[in-house]
Amino acid sequence: MKTIAIVATGGTIAGTGKKGKTAAYHAGEIDIDSIIETIPEINEVAHIKEYQLMNIDSNEMTHEKWLILKNNIEEILSDDTIDGAVVTHGTDTLDETAYFLTLTLNTPKPVVLTGAMRPATATSADGPFNLYQAICLACHGESYNRGVLALFSNTIYSGRDIEKVNNFKIDAFDQRSLGCLGYMQDQEVYFYTQTSKIHTVKSRFNKRIDSIKSVAIAFYYSGADAKILYDLASDHEGIVIAGSGSGNYSQAWLKAIEELSEKGTIFVRSSRISQGIVFDDEIFDPHHLCISSNTLSPQKARVLLMLALTQTHDRDEIREIFLQY
């Protein structure tokens, strides 16, 4: 059997509340040992090593904690006796962590994120089965060198494209219109597609990272004051705009973008819409000052821009990064 490391960070999968109930619970309350004890079948598929790295609600995840997570996973997987890793994580910000690890991990070994929508104390908690399948996925030979993966409700997702689309159902994730990578039935793995974007061992961001640049997200809505952009630019090197439609905004925002770009702020145009793609636009960005997010959500565009700004402030180079990653 293969040896899989479980790197626990908390989340709903480690949450506790009133026995049997699915609401009003505290995330990150129990340790990974207690969760594993409820899944004796795990011992039939892999040797397990447990690492309780942190135990937090995923809304407490920060880029400093991302760096800790990256460094620990790489150190763990540098051990030749460990074949892969499963990261337990809260669902609220899992998509951001998954993409950060996709861009920064320097390992070809399988790394699978999973979690739960119901706390451990709920009737029919979904965490144990997700964790069981995630371990099976990490053991599977075809998971090697596919980049960071995520596993929820029998479905395999890429770390780049996974997105939480429902805050209530246990089947809470999707990949926009790109489709999933595959499915699982119990312990069986069925891959159908894979991402063509650069990740992990081929990523330009997989070296040692000491700090990450500050990037904000500006959400556009009807009548939004352009002062939002000026205020954010005073504290951040980059701004991702979650625009309406195809990354759109008002003429007042366009003027602010043009003025702030001249002073060095880097802008990315993304959309508050969960389906579709953002391309360059002659109307809303006539001077090509903004970088298009393509299929990245605003929060994932922020992750990529934070990393890109650690290496360059050249707008054309960052534009190429967004096309490649």
Annotated binding site: 58, 91-92
Place of tokens 């309350």: 29
Q: Can you tell me the distance from the alpha carbon of 317 to that of 138, in angstroms, rounded to the nearest whole number?
A: 34
- Three-class secondary structure of residue 120 per DSSP: coil
Q: How many residues does the chain have?
A: 325
Amino acid at position 234, single letter: S
Q: Which two tokens stand for residue 294?
A: 């393509």
Binding site, annotated residues for substrate = 58, 91-92
Pairing state of beta strands 148-152 and 111-114?
parallel
Pairing state of beta strands 16-17 and 25-26?
antiparallel
Q: What is the gyration radius of the CA atoms in the chain, in angstroms? A: 20
Q: Can you tell me the distance from the alpha carbon of 25 to that of 12, in angstroms, rounded to the nearest whole number?
A: 8
Q: Does residue 310 carry a catalytic annotation?
A: no
CA angle, 261 as apex, 256 and 264 as ends, to 5°? 135
Q: Can you tell me the distance from the alpha carbon of 228 to that of 219, in angstroms, rounded to the nearest whole number?
A: 9
Q: Can you tell me the distance from the alpha carbon of 325 to that of 160, in angstroms, rounded to the nearest whole number?
A: 8
Q: Does residue 91 carry a catalytic annotation?
A: yes
Q: Can you tell me the distance from the alpha carbon of 31 to that of 203, in angstroms, rounded to the nearest whole number?
A: 33
Q: Residue 149: phi, psi to the nearest 5?
A: -115, 165
> Is the distance from CB of 91 to CB of 117 less than 8 angstroms?
yes
- Indicate which residue of 91, 114, 155, 195 is catalytic: 91
Q: Can you tell me the distance from the alpha carbon of 257 to that of 179, in angstroms, rounded to the nearest whole number?
A: 34
E strand or H helix that includes residue 25: strand 25-26
Active-site amino acid positions: 12, 91
